Amino acid sequence: MAHSPENGRIILEMRGVSKSFPGVKALDRVDLEVRAGEAHCLVGENGAGKSTLMKILAGAVPLDEGEIRIDGEPVHIRSPHHAQQLGISMIYQEFNLSPFLSVAENIFLGREPRYPHTPFVNWPAMYDQARDLLRRINVDLDVRRSVNELSIAQQQMVEIAKALSFQAKIIVMDEPSATLTEHELNALFNLIRELKRQGVGIVYISHRLEELFETGDRVTVMRDGKYVGRLDIAEITQRRDDPDRAAKITATRDAIIRMMVARKLDEGLFPKETFERGEEVLRVEGLCRYGVFHDISFALHKGEIVGLTGLVGAGRTEVARAIFGADPLDEGAIHLYGKRITVRSPQDAIRHGIGLLTEDRKNQGLILGMSVRENTTLANLSELLRGLVFLDKRRERDAAAKLARDLEIRAPSVETVVQTLSGGNQQKVVLAKWLFTRSKVLIFDEPTRGIDVGAKVAIYELMNTLVRRGVAVLIISSEMLEVIGMCDRVLVMNSGWMPNALSGELRDWPSHELTYAEVNA
Amino acid sequence: MAVEPRRYDAATRRLLVFGPLLAALLLETIIFEVVGRYQGKPSFFSLDNAILILNQSSVHGVVAVGMTFVILTGGIDLSVGSMLAFAGVICALVTQWGGDPVALWIGGGWIAALALGATAGALVGLLVTRFAIPPFIATLALMSSLRGLGNLITDGKPVSPLPELYAQVGRYQLFGHVPVSVLFFIAALVCGATLLNMTRFGRYVRAIGGNEESARLSGVNVARVKLLVYAFCGGLTALAGLILSSRLGAGSPKVGVGDELAVIAAVVVGGTSLSGGRGSVGGTFVGLLVVSVLNSGLSWTGVETFGQQVTLGLVILAAVLLDKLKGDV
């Protein structure tokens, strides 16, 4: 690609950036460098620190150590507003648009052009300027339309136009492709090429590694909060007629994967114990929720851990919620120990011994303002009744204390409010809650997200203990190594049902045959 | 960036809520005692005066216990002022209509009013849970409708005359000293505190206010608990309306205007968070006392209604500011 004279200059440098949160070192001396007119891909597993790094760049989180230079000038980014002034724009997965305002109003929100010396908005000027911005990125859209009438892809275009209206020099796109269709995706890539031509530097975050070769110039890989390395892929991206292109992409992608995950498997992060596979505990047949997932069938046995994986948005969480009664099911049957059960609400599921550790612990798993004790017993207070209505507080305290000891929950006492605990200990409190209900089936949705490495191992060890006690465990996870490392079998979901459409069943793998690439293919 | 709220365990939390409230109560009492003495009045700090203040706050107090539960779930009930009047009107009408034997019909009136209060509350609960109408709106509608209905069926005039026994219930004094309304107040407090602290239902109420989705996913029947909470508040409000009506010796459709705000103020001053999850019946009791002692003391020392309103506003503000300063207790 012909670079304009401007292009190629380094516009953003982050050097030795470190950041700690209570109990977690989120970033450890990370480097990132972006040139004008470059699409710089940032990759790493969940929890590798990409989001934190970008939040620092956006001024949402202050850094502990390190230096940021923009156009060679050291800057100290004080706030999101300041970041904008410096020419940094973020496009998050969740858009920051006001749904009932028009396209133009959203683009110029808070900076509406006005008639000189009056408080009145100059609507014609605003519409003209909005049209100009959209034309710059070759997007055809009525600027008067209300944003809630637009498709996700169109809303994304509005976000990008808004970023350009700030004279953005650097645009960060966080998983921009996650919710787009194939056709919309091509439009996005064209748009990125256009932005590059105009000298904008782009930080592109994505889990779909194949995508990087559409527009990417360089790739920075992160792992566990550290900078791992940088690869130049501009040549592969640009030479689309190269006969060996496919082979080169595969080789480079595998190299990136190795950098992302390296070691880990050998370092004893996964204390997997294997048990004899016992009787069937849970079996689901033909589960269907129209428009969300379709014809899901699988079984869980005593003595095994089964993984459920696939891309974010494939409907994994939704399947778990439906089995748990949190969402309605349109079709299908759930069997427990061979007997069909009806689950219409979480109460039903809990009564039958099914527990769900939700992905979002803080908003769906815990009552943050309540104590460890109260959270532990919430799902099974009937166990503690003395007479018809009164709770036996002493028994409650003893039970909670025992579980806290068993799970090694690190808290001053069971009366400690769970809000003050670290992510790992909060997850243990959720687990304690389900142990207190004597669950026979436990579904873990992203069990180790946002938890530091030490606590992860503790959670994995607890999973072993559960399996030893005869609990059937299903793990939903986007972290391939977690799935490979901890599961006996793996089910792969893709866009609401399995990729292997012929058999009408989930693709079911022994975990050791599974590689990262196969799942992402 | 938002500051991470500080969180305390239960014991510290109690101290932080009750400490300043009790200090305020003590301070108020001392000020009014000193100013009263200076003005040559008898002692403000006396048993008789204490009973008087308790008696005056008993109607609001009974309602406030129910309101505490509603606010703990993260809801609000604006219909209590209208319900106060409506319950009295219903009881008075039943009494008038029934005639002899008087005692039986008064009893029937009480039962009818209590049932109506609980039912109206349950209806609100249904609207809130089943149709996802915000509690503010549902109870605002009920507030207006009930007030109108009370005025419609009485033609806007108090229902009287009533048999002497009607008023005697409310004016009865145990041991010649303790008014029956104070007994009702104390009973409501004890029941409320027991329900909140010692039962599964109370735990569910706080869990829902703390995080409704987590509670639901822990198997709490959120709809049922909320419905019961609004019914409980409606029933207690009807009880308060009956006490008031009996004390007045009439069923007036005009009483209780604006009382919902006075009750909410007492609950908030007592440390219950309007966003739900945090608060206690005991806090509400002391919060109500702080407000009542203030009003009573201001009258005592000659500050009239307008001045009282201003002071009350400042106290509410101070209470909430103090809450913020303490962090998210």
For the stretch B24-47, pLDDT in tens is 899 988 988 888 888 888 888 888
The answer to whether A220 touches A41, Cβ cutoff 8 Å, is: yes
Does the beta-carbon distance from A419 to B5 stay under 8 Å? yes
Mean of pLDDT values over A87-100: 86
The model's confidence at residue A493, banded by pLDDT at 50, 70 and 90, is: confident
Q: What is the 3-state secondary structure (H, E, C) of A5-52?
A: CCCCCEEEEEEEEEEEECCEEEEEEEEEEEECCCEEEEECCCCCCHHH
Confidence bin at A492 (pLDDT 50/70/90):
confident
**8 Å CB contact of A391 and B200:** yes
- Is A268 part of a structural domain of the chain? no
Q: Would residue A52 count as lying in a domain?
A: yes
| A406 lies in the same domain as A463 | no
Residues A46 and A14 in one domain: yes
pLDDT, residue B183, reads 93
Please write the tens of the pLDDT for every residue from B249-258.
999 999 999 9
ipTM over 0.85: yes
Residue A474 domain-assigned (yes or no): yes
Average pLDDT, stretch B177-188?
Answer: 91
- Model confidence over B144-170: pLDDT tens digits? 999 999 999 999 999 988 888 888 887
Residue B161, preceding bond cis, omega within 30 degrees? yes
Q: How confident is the model at residue B13 (pLDDT cuts 50, 70, 90)?
A: confident
Using CB atoms, pick whichever of A350, A390, A413 lies closest to residue B198.
A390
- Judge: A391–B203 Cβ closer than 8 Å, yes or no: yes
pLDDT of residue A500: 34
Domain span including residue A28: 1-87+169-234
> What is the CB neighbour count within 10 angstroms for residue A507?
17
For residue B2, the model assigns a pLDDT of 34
Chain A CB contacts of B198 below 8 Å: 389-391, 393
Task: Give the model's pLDDT for residue B218.
Answer: 95
Indicate whether B71 pLDDT > 70. Answer: yes
Q: Which of B214, B216, B273 is most worth mutating to test chain A (most A CB atoms within 10 A of its CB)?
A: B214
Judge if A82 and A175 occupy the same domain.
Answer: yes
Q: How far apart are CA B303 and CA A341, in angstroms?
A: 69
Q: What is the pLDDT of residue B280?
A: 93
Q: Is the pLDDT of residue A283 over 80?
A: yes
Question: Are A365 and B206 a contacting pair at CB < 8 A?
Answer: no
Residues pairing with A306 in the sheet: A474, A489
pLDDT digits (tens, 9 = 90+) for A333-346: 999 999 999 999 99
Residue A249 lies in a domain: no
Q: Tell me the shortest Cα–Cα distance from A511 to chain B, in angstroms.
A: 30
- Whether A159 and A291 share a structural domain: no
Task: Measure CB to CB from residue A371 to each of B10, B216, B221 and give the nearest one.
Answer: B10
Question: Do A188 and A126 belong together in one domain?
Answer: no
Is A515 found in the same domain as A459?
yes
- How many contacts does A have with B, using Cβ atoms within 8 A? 93
> CATH for B46-322, among 1.10.10, 1.10.3470, 2.60.40, 1.10.287?
1.10.3470
**Residues forming beta bridges with residue A357, ordered by sequence position:** A444
Coil vs helix vs strand at A229:
strand
For residue A313, what pLDDT band results from cuts at 50, 70 and 90? low
Decide if A264 is inside a domain: no
Q: Among the three residues A206, A234, A262, which one is the final residue of a domain in this structure?
A: A234
Mind giving me the DSSP string for B240-260? Answer: HHHHHHHHHTSB-TTTTTTHH
Bridge pairing between strands A354-357 and A441-445: parallel
Report the pLDDT value the prediction gives residue A487, as an integer from 0 to 100: 87
Residues A455 and A312 in one domain: yes
Categorize the per-residue pLDDT at A372 as very low, low, confident or very high, splitting at 50, 70 and 90.
very high
CA-based nearest distance B192→chain A, Å: 13
Q: Which of A332, A324, A323, A257 is nearest to A290 (CA)?
A: A332
Are A157 and A173 found together in one domain? no
Q: Which of A247, A204, A243 is nearest to A54 (CA)?
A: A204
In a domain, A110, yes or no: yes
Higher pLDDT among residues A411 and B58, named by residue: B58
Is the domain of A81 the same as that of A209?
yes
Mean pLDDT of A367-392: 92
> What does the domain layout of chain B look like in residue ranges?
46-322
Determine the 3-state secondary structure of B157 from DSSP. Answer: coil
Which among B1, B9, B198 has the least Cβ separation from residue A391?
Answer: B198
Shared domain for A405 and A432, answered yes or no, is yes
Q: What are the chain B neighbours of A370 within 8 Å (beta carbons)? A: 206-207, 210, 277
Tell me: pLDDT of A105 over 70: yes
Whether residue A433 lies inside any domain: the answer is yes
A222 and A74 in a common domain: yes
SS3 A224: coil
Q: Give burial (CB, 10 Å; 0-12/13-18/19+) of A71.
A: middle
Higher pLDDT, B160 or A196: A196
Residue B324 above 80 pLDDT?
Answer: no
- C-alpha–C-alpha distance, residues B235 and A433, integer Å: 34
- The pLDDT score that the predictor gives to residue A511 is 47
Residues A445 and A510 in one domain: yes
Instruction: State how far the Cα of A44 lies from the Cα of B314, in Å rounded to an integer.
Output: 54
Residue A486 has pLDDT above 90, yes or no: no
Q: Is residue A224 part of a domain?
A: yes
Under the banding of pLDDT at 50, 70 and 90, the label for residue A506 is very low
What's residue B329's pLDDT? 44
Query: Measured between CA atoms, how close is B28 to chain A, in angstroms?
Result: 32
Domain count within chain A: 4
Q: Which of A410, A437, A464 is the last residue of a domain?
A: A437
- Say what the pLDDT of residue A477 is: 86
Whether B221 sits inside 8 A of A347 (CB atoms) is yes
Q: Could you tell me which residues of chain B have a Cβ less than 8 Å from any Cβ in chain A? A: 1, 5, 7-11, 198-201, 203-204, 206-207, 210-211, 213-221, 277-278
Residues in chain A whose beta carbon is closer than 8 A to a beta carbon of chain B?
Answer: 60-62, 324, 326, 345-347, 349-351, 356, 358, 363-371, 374, 378-382, 384-385, 389-391, 393, 412-413, 415-417, 419-420, 433, 437
